[in-house]
Amino acid sequence: MTLYRNAVRHAWRMIAALVIAVVLVVVVDRLYGHSSVAFAAAIMLLVIANAQMLRFNCPQCGKNAFFRGIFVVLWPNRICTRCGHDLDS
């Protein structure tokens, strides 16, 4: 599987993790009231789920597929913005 396709799968997993985190906070809020523990658990879930994002780097120049300049975005680049390498090949 190509780097781009793996990165897209990671993006979909992150969307699912975000939905799970929001549902967790809403459910705890409805059942037990406001809880900082639920927010902390949601944040930890998202940090742990997103840790593997740093391994989606261009094989030629090493630029991460999720970075656009200094910003991190939800969807990966198909073409490396630094060297022009096709990440889907």
pLDDT at 89 over 90: no
Q: What is the pLDDT of residues 14-32, one digit of tens each?
A: 999 999 999 999 999 999 9
Q: What is the pTM of this model?
A: 0.86
Band (pLDDT 50/70/90 cuts) for residue 10 is very high
Per domain, the residue ranges of the chain are 3-72
**Residue 65 burial (10 A CB sphere; 0-12, 13-18, 19+):** buried
